[in-house]
Amino acid sequence: MFALSSPRRLLVVDPCEDCRQLLPELQRIGWSVDSCSLESVINRSGDVGLLRLLPSHLERPEAVKEMINRSAIEWIAVLSADVLKMKNVGDFVYEWFFDFHTLPFDVSRFQVTLGRAFGMSRLRVQTLNPDDSPAHELLGESRSVRDLRKLLGKFAPTQSPILIRGESGTGKELVARTLHRQSKRHDQPFVAINCGSIPEHLIQSELFGHEKGAFTGAHQRKIGRIETANGGTLFLDEIGDLPLELQASLLRFLQEKHIERVGGGKPIAVDVRVLAATHVDLEAAIAQGHFREDLYYRLNVLQVQMSPLRERHGDMSLLANHFSRLYSQETGRRSRSFSEGALIALGNHPWPGNVRELANRVRRGLVLAEGRQIEAADLGLEEQPTVMGTLEDYKVRAERQALSDVLHRYSNNLSVAAKVLGVSRPTFYRLLHKHQIR
């Protein structure tokens, strides 16, 4: 699978005397060897790491866990017979290391272990590399996400209001933050308010602020969210839940570009860009008299439509691995990959909660996983039984799987994807249409 000429880099942390005696032989068979202390490992890289595990590491394991969490290296623990007998050492090594080797070294067996670790390291680089996509951007290589990123690049520099639409959990606030970050207001405040989570009698004060003594309990002046966002971006999440009375006040602000605090009579000029988001069908709400049509047209100057996760073919594995890395530190466990059964279950689940649900299930999976991979049961999903079918059924499934695999790797160049499958570009598009992919 990997070319023999690929450079193989071994990083030895706090090398022991047995390790030093082994290094010339490893260099002779093609390993590039570097060594450093545990304190300076953050500045080093490699494919495979070697650590002499000492009792002090087991008593204060945080440094070792951080080292492994922050690297894309497959780590091998080197243990003496005494350390191997210590309480809980087995659990610690199983959880955090690819493999272990006991002293004195069995050179032949250790070379096999190194080779396996190197192969796993290459696989991890392909699927778990944190640098594949910037953490601050929308992740995904499906057509819908690539089109979304392109659209946001066009919308961000403008000053126009934008309405972000989509099901709950699709990442509407992430889109709003991306728009702000790419705008000319990026160094000014980004202020978000969820219109559905604040009690109705407090929304006016939250949005517009109030003067001291404006109502019972108003012991001092309060600056509202709109005023706080002056110069920057105001994000109104779940705008469809805003009461009609507040809709009128918001419309007046959008028209006149100034506000009045509750209990105050002085207009205050405010310069903000307004982004709004909703999962509600606003057109239906207008027809039912629940949402003002004039406010709708003020907010819906530009529109972004979010795709549900179930339609983002090819993004599931990428997102799941991203959340596995993201929550590994929070859960105190090493980032894990997903078993074949788990990936099938992820693909078959309808995802009513979209990306938010996926993030929560992966977080659960990291906590519950007992093996080196996250299984379907760890995610709270049922592993799908193998279903027998006709030869034609198998051909259709194989065809769809081949298309999904090649799109995952060559989504940016469909000509290359078609060539890899050995079909013409028109045939490739016909197959995509046949299987309703993209």
> Is 80 exceeded by the pLDDT of residue 141?
yes
Which pLDDT tens digit goes with each residue over 299-320? 999 999 999 999 887 788 889 9
Return the pLDDT at 188.
95
Give percent of the chain with pLDDT exceeding 70: 92
Determine phi and psi for 315, rounding to 5 degrees.
-95, -15
- pLDDT average, residue stretch 337-355: 91
Return the pLDDT at 121.
77
Determine phi and psi for 432, rounding to 5 degrees.
-60, -45
Q: How far apart are CA 364 and CA 324, in angstroms?
A: 10
Mean pLDDT estimate for the chain: 86
Return the pLDDT at 124.
63
- pLDDT average, residue stretch 90-117: 88
Instruction: State the fold for domain 8-128.
Output: Rossmann fold (3.40.50)
Q: Which has the minimum average pLDDT: 92-96, 135-139, 210-214, 241-245? A: 135-139
Identify residue 119 by its one-letter amino acid code. G
Q: Which has the minimum average pLDDT: 19-28, 34-43, 133-142, 244-253? A: 133-142
- pLDDT average, residue stretch 141-161: 93
Residues making up the chain, counted from first to last: 438
> Is 90 exceeded by the pLDDT of residue 433?
no
Can you say whether residue 269 is alpha, beta or left, with left for phi > 0 and alpha for psi between -120 and 50 degrees?
Answer: beta
> Is 80 exceeded by the pLDDT of residue 127?
no
Which pLDDT tens digit goes with each residue over 239-293? 999 999 899 999 999 999 999 888 887 899 999 999 999 999 999 999 999 999 9
Q: 359 versus 389: which is more confidently predicted?
A: 359
* β-pair type (268-269, 258-259): antiparallel
Return the pLDDT at 374.
93
Helix (H, G, I), strand (E, B) or coil at 125: helix
Q: 370 versus 165: which is more confidently predicted?
A: 165
Return the pLDDT at 302.
97
Return the pLDDT at 2.
42
Q: Where residue 40 falls among pLDDT bands split at 50, 70, 90?
A: confident
Which one, of 238, 146, 153, 229, lies nearest residue 195 by Cα? Answer: 238
Cis peptide preceding 267, ω within 30 of 0: no
Which pLDDT tens digit goes with each residue over 182-235? 999 999 999 999 998 888 778 888 889 888 877 777 778 888 899 999 999 999
In terms of Cβ atoms closer than 10 Å to its own Cβ (0-12, 13-18, 19+), residue 108 is exposed
Give percent of the chain with pLDDT exceeding 90: 40
Return the pLDDT at 68.
85
Return the pLDDT at 51.
93
Instruction: State the fold for domain 310-379.
Output: Helicase, Ruva Protein; domain 3 (1.10.8)
Q: Where residue 136 falls among pLDDT bands split at 50, 70, 90?
A: very low
Return the pLDDT at 387.
53
Return the pLDDT at 438.
61
The domain 143-307 is classified under which CATH number: 3.40.50.300, 2.60.40.290, 3.40.50.620, 3.40.228.10?
Answer: 3.40.50.300
